Amino acid sequence: MQALSVPHSLINFTGSDFLIYDLNHLKGEFKKANINFLENEPMHRHTSFKIGGAADVFVNIGSKEEFTRVFSLCKEENVPVTILGKGSNLLVSDKGIEGVVLCLENLNKMTVSGERITVGAGANLAALCTFAANEGLSGLEFAFGIPGSVGGAVFMNAGAYGGEMKDVLESVTAVNSGGEIFTLFRDELCLSYRSSAFQKNGATVIEAVFKLKKGNTEEIKASMTEIMKRRKDKQPLEFPSAGSTFKRPEGYFAGTLIEQCGLKGFSVGGAQVSVKHAGFVINKGGATANDVLCLIKKVQETVSRKTGVTLEPEVIFIGRE
Ligand SMILES: Cc1cc2nc3c(=O)[nH]c(=O)nc-3n(C[C@H](O)[C@H](O)[C@H](O)COP(=O)(O)OP(=O)(O)OC[C@H]3O[C@@H](n4cnc5c(N)ncnc54)[C@H](O)[C@@H]3O)c2cc1C
């Protein structure tokens, strides 16, 4: 296999060339404030791709109050912050992530009131779907099987099988970079295909309210089971991946274009265009972020040359250059 260079233009670096900060001082502040943290935490443990170098500092946030405290300390110390959901749409650099990674998975409380469910951003989306079904609330069936957290699903306006977060979200509470808490209602969330206001405003989703409809638990669960079966039949769920690698280009399906270009099964190192579904890049074993980036570049170039269609990654690239 010919060596391919890493396409740096693909990477959305979270690093901060212009920030000057003292990470050891921040760690001291964390210790004083009794905030538990991990150092040099390998990110392959926290991504569905099972790829990624170490985060300098990793904090598993325990409560909304702890989030505000940790976030403010990072801001005061000028340390870059990366928000992690379940890592199911991320490709993390082999060189890791600079600064502090905040994992929100413990912010997972769910409460129901009539047809509304209020849920913490770190909650598992599948757990939310099951909770809604058990409460006899319909509307989230489409989301069953999308891996990830509620916060990540809001950020991405995640969707499948004809539904998207936009259809069921009523409001979202978030914290902006100044540490202020605010709430946005559905029309203010700028939800469109795999896009939301949070991709521009840089705020962190803390909680979401879903407005659902009364339904029958058995019928809702049957629909969820059917959707999961369709996923298992079509998607290479037996391999680590970050789901669909590319967004759906207008008027086409990325997987079909990639297959038509003869790229099904094409590999770079441990990364491969799935044989089962060409829209997925999978980690066959031992893939590096560099392998995945090179494969993505190769697919983009080939599809563009042969069909004239530009494929835009849906997977988000983060970490050091
Ligand atoms: C097998 C497989 C199948 C998939 N199928 C689908 C599908 O059908 N439809 C679909 O839409 N996606 C799908 N995905 C992609 C992925 O599951 C979704 O994009 C998911 O919503 C990402 O959530 P997450 O918590 O894992 O986010 P992460 O991957 O952790 O993060 C994604 C982005 O969201 C940001 N983010 C996360 N939480 C917050 C928060 N609380 N506040 C602000 N920003 C935040 C992160 O900083 C990052 O930029 C699939 C992935 C896999 C592996």
**pLDDT tens-digit series, residues 44-74:** 999 999 999 999 999 999 999 999 999 999 9
Stretch 253-258: mean pLDDT? 98
Question: Using a 6 Å cutoff on CB, does residue 274 contact ligand 1?
Answer: no
- Return the pLDDT at 10: 37
Question: Using a 6 Å cutoff on CB, does residue 146 contact ligand 1?
Answer: yes
Task: Give the C-alpha separation, 203 to 210, whole Å.
Answer: 19
> Which one of 43, 83, 89 would you pick to mutate in the ligand 1 pocket, going by the greatest count of ligand atoms within 8 A of its CB?
89
Task: Give the C-alpha separation, 272 to 277, whole Å.
Answer: 11
Distant-in-sequence contacts of 305-311, Cβ < 8 A, 24+ apart: 306/260, 306/261, 307/257, 307/260, 307/261, 309/249, 309/252, 309/257, 310/249, 311/246, 311/247, 311/249, 311/254, 311/257, 311/258
- Return the pLDDT at 166: 98
Global pTM reads: 0.94
Q: Which of 148, 170, 175 is nearest to 159 (CA)?
A: 148
Structural fold of domain 21-103: 3.30.43
- Return the pLDDT at 20: 87
Stretch 38-42: mean pLDDT? 98
Torsion sign over Cα 46, 241, 161, 225: negative
Asked if residue 9 has pLDDT above 80, the reply is no
Question: Using a 6 Å cutoff on CB, does residue 150 contact ligand 1?
Answer: no
Stretch 70-95: mean pLDDT? 96
- Confidence category of residue 18, pLDDT binned at 50, 70, 90: low
CATH fit for domain 236-318, picks 3.90.78.10, 3.40.190.10, 3.40.50.1100, 3.30.70.20: 3.90.78.10
Q: In CATH, what is the architecture of 110-220?
A: 2-Layer Sandwich (3.30)
What is the domain partition of the chain in residue ranges? 21-103, 110-220, 236-318
Protein residue closest via CA to atom 10 of ligand 1: 158
149 Cα to the center of ligand 1, angstroms: 7
Asked if residue 241 has pLDDT above 70, the reply is yes
Give the residue numbers marked as catalytic: 194, 244, 314
The two tokens of residue 53 are 């170098």
Asked if residue 177 has pLDDT above 80, the reply is yes
Average pLDDT of the chain to the nearest whole number: 94
- Confidence category of residue 120, pLDDT binned at 50, 70, 90: very high
- Return the pLDDT at 94: 98
Question: Using a 6 Å cutoff on CB, does residue 172 contact ligand 1?
Answer: no
4 Cα to the center of ligand 1, angstroms: 28
